[in-house]
Amino acid sequence: MKSKSTRNSPDSSTRENGQNNSVLTVRGLRVYFFTEEGVVKAVEGIDLDIKKGETLGLIGESGSGKTVSALSLVQLLPIPPAKIVGGSVFFENTDLLTLSDKKMREIRGGKISMIFQDPMTSLNPLYSVADQIAENLRVHRKMLPDEATKEAIRMMNVVGIPDAERRSIEYPHQFSGGMRQRVMIASALSCLPALLIADEPTTALDVTIQAQVLELIEELKQKYDTAVLYITHNFAVVAEIADRVAVMYAGYIVEEGDVYTIFENPKHPYTIDLLSSIPRVDKKLSHLEVIRGSIPNLITPPEGCRFHPRCKKVMDKCSKVVPERVEINERHFVRCHLY
């Protein structure tokens, strides 16, 4: 983990009204999927704040709602079956949920860039990789074609694509999975976004390249004050890159705090169990814990606290009442009846 002194200072006094230096302020975001089997309550009222130059790590098991949350921020969910049924998403004081498709397209890929798990879903098979990066530069940074192509090749070099100039005219299918991911990262970073949403961007990469990509994102953040939403299920990556951590479970953010607090003094039983289930070099654990059960079906989620069927500290109230989000310390939030 980075030294605590490099963290952004807390500012809870202005937090709740959104009038702070947050690049992104999400309040009460709820996303459902209306399917033939029933309504999937995928995201149930999440709140998020990311300030300039801050990285928020959003962590949780598969199916917890991390990716759905990210896609709904930039309106990339398939509607229907998805529907945003409540909440607001303020980006630089504009509620993205009220924007037209045209306005949203201007923001996406420019002021807000995204890197997804699967690069093939984002790269167009009919255009060379340099053309795709250059198009972003022409549209969002208003570069002339020659200048944009030069910058695209430079970015390919920056993300470690060997022989970038020669390979710039090749097509996505001529690149390996890891190389395609780097092309997508080059494209996302090339527009110097105010907010970068990265959804498991290094899952397909080996550890050396993963370290280089994390370093790149860190550089971008330092240089341009970029805010980063980094989605992962990997605590090691979060420890490396995040200033703050939000832990997601079954559609709720159950705990949020700075990275030290979450690792050293977690309060929510789910966060505690998660941290006890992974090997850590900084803790002597006699054995690794297993979290019993699995994430619930979100068509018929458990009443009350959605974690209660798996929780070791469950009480009567837990199966009846949904816990509120409470601030137990400055910018340390927990949803649990124990607090």
- Residues near ligand SF4, by CB under 6 A: 268-269, 305, 307-308, 311, 313-315, 318, 323, 336-338
Q: CB of 294: closest distance to ligand SF4 in angstroms? A: 16
- Which CB, 171 or 339, lies closer to ligand SF4? 339
- Which CB, 169 or 326, lies closer to ligand SF4? 326
- Which CB, 63 or 109, lies closer to ligand SF4? 63
Rounded to 5°, the CA angle 124-127-132 comes to 75
Q: CB of 282: closest distance to ligand SF4 in angstroms? A: 25
- Which CB, 87 or 323, lies closer to ligand SF4? 323
- Which CB, 74 or 318, lies closer to ligand SF4? 318
Q: CB of 312: closest distance to ligand SF4 in angstroms? A: 8
What is the 3 state secondary structure string of the chain?
Answer: CCCHHHCCCCCHHHCCCCCCCEEEEEEEEEEEEEECCEEEEEEEEEEEEEECCCEEEEECCCCCCHHHHHHHHCCCCCCCCEEEEEEEEEECCEEHHHCCHHHHHHHECCCEEEECCCHHHCCCCCCCHHHHHHHHHHHHCCCCHHHHHHHHHHHHHHCCCCCHHHHCCCCHHHCCHHHHHHHHHHHHHHCCCCEEEEECCCCCCCHHHHHHHHHHHHHHHHHHCCEEEEEECCHHHHHHHCCEEEEEECCEEEEEEEHHHHHHCCCCHHHHHHHHCCCCCCCCCCCCCCCCCCCCCCCCCCCCCCCHHHCCCCCHHHHCCCCCEEEEECCEEEECCCC
Q: CB of 26: closest distance to ligand SF4 in angstroms? A: 22
Q: CB of 265: closest distance to ligand SF4 in angstroms? A: 16
- Which CB, 119 or 323, lies closer to ligand SF4? 323
Sequence letter at residue 303: E
- Which CB, 253 or 305, lies closer to ligand SF4? 305
Q: CB of 313: closest distance to ligand SF4 in angstroms? A: 4
Q: CB of 254: closest distance to ligand SF4 in angstroms? A: 7
